[in-house]
Amino acid sequence: MTETTLRSPADEALLERFRARKPVALARAISMVEDERPGFQDFLHTVMADGPSARRVGFTGPPGAGKSSLVAAVATAYRTAEEQVGVVAVDPTSPYSGGALLGDRIRMNDIATDPGIFIRSMATRGSLGGLATTTKEVVDLMDAFRFDRILVETVGVGQTELEITAAADTVVVVLVPESGDAIQAMKAGLMEIADVFVVNKADRPGAARLVKELRQALHLRAGSAMKDVPAHHGVDLGRALKRERTEDPPAPDREGWEIPVLTSNALTGEGLEELLETIAHHRTWLTEGGALEERRRERAARRIRDVVDRGLRRVAWRSERVRALLDEGVERIARGGGTPYSAADEILGALLR
């Protein structure tokens, strides 16, 4: 697999425009990947040759937590710093996002006219099963398109959606007082994926309680960490971080990252600065602590597995013989003469013979 393996002159032309950073070429490439059109893997291989370079931040949380508003605010801040920003939103088309979503999208549209930012909303419908891998591949396309920052937004409900957060270097879990208590967040596995917790809509009743619960849950989980909680995990993270900046930056904690719990109000911008500082702080820890390379290795291993599994499925179900065995199996089961397991055994036998 080299650049010369691109299937068609059309792909070569697309590659050229992609490298010239034409947004329309990026959009085309994304569609190519989403539809798994012939040669899409060759295209990915070609543009990914230089490896990842973008700073990837994932935002996940319940519908209505205000993720999109927060992503829009963060994206705007990065744009103000002249960074090129890509946004991948796994569209929570579920009705459960309530009215919040529409409002969020409208706020998102405020910045959608800026040429320095590219927003792609992934449809969750249709691509059943493949959504996680496809979304990660779209993030890689954006990385190859040389955005400085890539913000990945997923509704943190459901396994597929949570898995997508693995595409990010830093995962911000956004909660609101309404989204339940810390125990539920723990049970949902959010403690495992979160690098930063943000309690958004912090002006609402219950926000302080949720922050307290999250910190307690995190400290319980960290076990002995209870004894030596870093200063900047006190009540005012913002002031602590500002204090830090007045001195030389502290040596990154190679032992591990203490997950901070921040508060924000995406609409007023309250807490935004602290969030940006924390993301930057985490980036320092990731790079100097060696965790970034580790995460990228894990990501590479996972991607290789996914691509191999996808390839195996293709080879298997492309075969006439296998499809015939599938039909025969279904017929036998309908007549009460077998089970999916005996039929699968036959097919595996044929494939592995």
Site for a second copy in 31-70 (CB under 8 A): 41-42, 44-45, 48-51, 62-63
Q: Are 153 and 60 spatial neighbours (Cβ–Cβ below 8 Å)?
A: yes
Annotate each residue in 290-319 with x if it binds a second copy (CB under 8 A) or - if it does not, as one string: ---x--xx--xx-xxx-xxx-xxx-xxx--
Which one of 12, 148, 181, 244 is in contact with a second copy (CB under 8 A)? 181
Q: Which region among 26-34, 74-82, 149-157, 259-267 touches a second copy (by CB under 8 A)?
A: 149-157
Q: Name the pairing type of β-strands 85-90 and 196-199.
A: unpaired
Q: Which residues of 91-113 are buried (b: 16+ CB within 10 A; e: fewer)?
A: bbeeeebeebbeebbebbeebee
Which one of 188, 225, 267, 276 is in contact with a second copy (CB under 8 A)? 188
Which one of 27, 106, 220, 330 is in contact with a second copy (CB under 8 A)? 330
Q: What are the φ and ψ backbone dihedral angles of 251, each rounded to 5 degrees?
A: -60, 135
Q: Nearest approach, Cβ of 24 to a second copy (angstroms)?
A: 24
Nearest of 188, 171, 146 to residue 275 by alpha carbon: 171
User: By C-beta, is 110 or 345 nearer to a second copy?
Assistant: 345
Q: Are 45 and 8 spatial neighbours (Cβ–Cβ below 8 Å)?
A: no
Which one of 68, 69, 84, 97 is in contact with a second copy (CB under 8 A)? 97
Site size with a second copy, rule: CB under 8 A: 77
Q: Are 29 and 138 spatial neighbours (Cβ–Cβ below 8 Å)?
A: no
Which one of 3, 24, 81, 96 is in contact with a second copy (CB under 8 A)? 96
Inter-helix orientation angle 67-80/272-288, to 10°: 70
By CB under 8 A, residue 352 contacts a second copy: yes
**Six token digits for residue 231:** 């200063």
Q: Which region among 13-21, 111-119, 160-168, 277-285 touches a second copy (by CB under 8 A)?
A: 160-168
